[in-house]
Amino acid sequence: MDSMSCIDESTTSTDSFPPAAPAADTPSKLPAPPAVKLYRMGSGGSVVSDSDNVIGVETESRKLPSSKYKGVVPQPNGRWGAQIYEKHHRVWLGTFNEEAEAARAYDIAARRFRGRDAVTNFKSPAADGERDCQSDAESAFLEAHSKAEIVDMLRKHTYEEELEQSKRRFHLSGVDGDGNRNGTGQNDDAGKKTREVLFEKAVTPSDVGKLNRLVIPKQHAEKHFPLPTSSSNGNGTSSTKGVLMNFEDVTGKVWRFRYSYWNSSQSYVLTKGWSRFVKEKNLRAGDVVSFERSTGPDRQLYIDCKIRSEPEKNPVQVVRLFGVDILSAPTPPPNDVVPVCGGKRSRDRDLFTLGCSKKQMIINAL
């Protein structure tokens, strides 16, 4: 047993606080020296000192270019990996196209794992006594999530996005940023219920095909719609039955879907009832379906879809929801835009499948 696994949340706030920031630093306030060079050639073997590399001798056969950033390691394909260590275990933070991106990921993880005073590549909020709203919001955001969640976001490159959403919510309800509803946060404006976007998915051809099923990305499914767990039944047949879930759409209509886990494909799906939704909403591949939930005590679920295709005729569509106008226009609304299929790829293998694999620290928290 051993542990393993699972980055536990020990640090929820108070804990790790290095006595004093590495002080060393001198007061040089360096607000944010973009490229701090920490020359660390690490150990390992050959250092690739380009420094004195004579001319461009640089035989390409050179090993990999080491990074000037902490926690960043080169990948064979020219990309950059980010990693952080904790308790003798390495926690992989994902791979990135840009070296600085990886460095940024490391910084975020470092702050979540080691506190604000953690040594980072770029900015260090608390360090210079700055403390502006931004950093406060980010700190709150970090605190509100488990290490596992943060790592998850980093690996999937969704951190920035989630942080932004969190900030929005923060301002709206004056409560903490993310998933934690706070006692009060129910409806603040008269009768206007606030909702949080759980996740969105650009539907695939199969999602709108004849299979009568919508695959819910595992990460989201497990986070927001944890199935009654299959409870028991040790034979892997997890909850084969599934459960019925109700979602309200923008018109107030309630849709009921069967939600279950398919062992065969190891995926979470919405089945019974889904095809009707597809038909009625005339969903097509590429459209985005959004799953939301009331932040109020009722935790009402909502489903909404954003047609992504060409605006056939109607330029804009305004729908009302509890008196709130929501427009799903062809152009992405300023607010929660979903980069989803944006530029980079977001590979997401099971990532922290609860089945903590070997030694790597995995997560589980929740």
Cβ of residue 4: shortest distance to DNA, in angstroms?
10
Among positions 49, 53, 75, 134, the unique one binding DNA when judged by CB under 7 A: 75
Is residue 94 close enough to count as binding DNA by CB under 7 A? yes
Of 155, 98, 140, the residue nearest 121 (C-alpha): 98
Is residue 70 close enough to count as binding DNA by CB under 7 A? yes
| Contact region with DNA (CB under 7 A), list: 60-68, 165-173, 201-209, 257-265 | 60-68
Cβ of residue 142: shortest distance to DNA, in angstroms?
17
233: three-class secondary structure by DSSP: coil
Cβ of residue 25: shortest distance to DNA, in angstroms?
15
Is residue 61 close enough to count as binding DNA by CB under 7 A? no
Element (H, E) at 281: helix 274-281
Among positions 9, 86, 130, 164, the unique one binding DNA when judged by CB under 7 A: 86
| Contact region with DNA (CB under 7 A), list: 170-178, 302-310, 329-337, 356-364 | 356-364
| Nearest residue (CB) to DNA, 88 versus 299 | 88
Report long-range pairs for 231-236 (Cβ below 8 Å, ≥24 apart). Answer: 236/263
Cβ of residue 267: shortest distance to DNA, in angstroms?
12
| Contact region with DNA (CB under 7 A), list: 194-202, 218-226, 278-286, 350-358 | 350-358
Mask of contacts with DNA, 137-166, x by CB under 7 A? ------------------x-----------
Distance CA 268, CA 220 (A): 9
Is residue 43 close enough to count as binding DNA by CB under 7 A? yes
Q: How many helices (H) and strands (E) does the chain have?
A: 6, 12
Tell me, by CB under 7 A, how many residues bind DNA. 44
Token pair of 294 as six digits = 């009331």
Of residues 109-138, those binding DNA (CB under 7 A): 119
Is residue 46 close enough to count as binding DNA by CB under 7 A? yes
Mask of contacts with DNA, 272-291, x by CB under 7 A? --------------------
Single-letter amino acid, residue 361: M
Distance CA 126, CA 116 (A): 6
78 sits in the region (left: phi over 0; alpha: psi -120 to 50; else beta) called left
| Cα atoms in the Cβ-side hemisphere of radius 13 Å centred on 258 | 13
Single-letter amino acid, residue 291: F
CA 70 from centre of chain: 22
| Nearest residue (CB) to DNA, 87 versus 171 | 87
| Nearest residue (CB) to DNA, 78 versus 315 | 78
Single-letter amino acid, residue 41: M
Is residue 79 close enough to count as binding DNA by CB under 7 A? yes
Token pair of 102 as six digits = 């990886």
Distance CA 124, CA 56 (A): 36
| Nearest residue (CB) to DNA, 109 versus 137 | 109
Distance CA 146, CA 143 (A): 7
Question: What DSSP character marks residue 182?
Answer: -
Which residues of the chain form contacts with DNA (CB under 7 A)? 40-48, 63-64, 66-67, 69-77, 79, 81, 83-88, 90, 92, 94-95, 119, 155, 347, 349-351, 357-360
